[in-house]
Amino acid sequence: MANDAMDERMIELEARVSMFEDLVKVLQDQIVKLGVQPGGSYRTMAEHSRCPACGQRKIFFADHITDRDGGIGEKMSFGRTTWLSRPIAQFQIYACVACGFCEWYAPALSEAVDELCKKHKGFRVIDANDAESTKAPYR
Ligand SMILES: [Zn+2]
């Protein structure tokens, strides 16, 4: 009698495990479709060519952005060099053609970040690995 009850319980548990395994497969497929990476961050349009907001795959890329059109605009960046006024860490944009969601990049930022922080009081690096850098600046 006890063995029959244990067998029934075992069968029930195996069925539940199988149901959860199927559910995990469905969720894994949905995660892949959404373009979400382990850890919760989404895959960028730059690397994935899929809009994380609407899922469309038609992406517009601009290697520079001007602050005004018509040939008189400056290329947008985090700053400009003292000599010749060239942009420092110029922006690039990937934009979803369907919904307009944008990702801004400054590919040269890592090379210029120290110079920019020295030059501008309002600029700073927030490094999550360094507790001191995550504190708000004094006002
Ligand atoms: Zn979109």
The mean of the pLDDT values for the chain is: 86
Q: Which helix (H) or strand (E) holds 103?
A: strand 102-105
Express each pLDDT in 2-17 by its tens digit: 789 999 999 999 999 9
Distance 28 CA to ligand 1 centre (A): 22
Distance 43 CA to ligand 1 centre (A): 13
Residue 46: exposure state from Cβ atoms within 10 A (0-12, 13-18, ≥19): middle
Q: What residues does the ion ligand 1 have nearby, CB within 5 Å?
A: 51, 53-54, 56, 96, 98-99, 101
Distance 99 CA to ligand 1 centre (A): 4
Report which of residues 69 and 115 the model is more confident about.
115
pTM of the complete model: 0.63
Count H helices, E strands: the chain?
3, 5
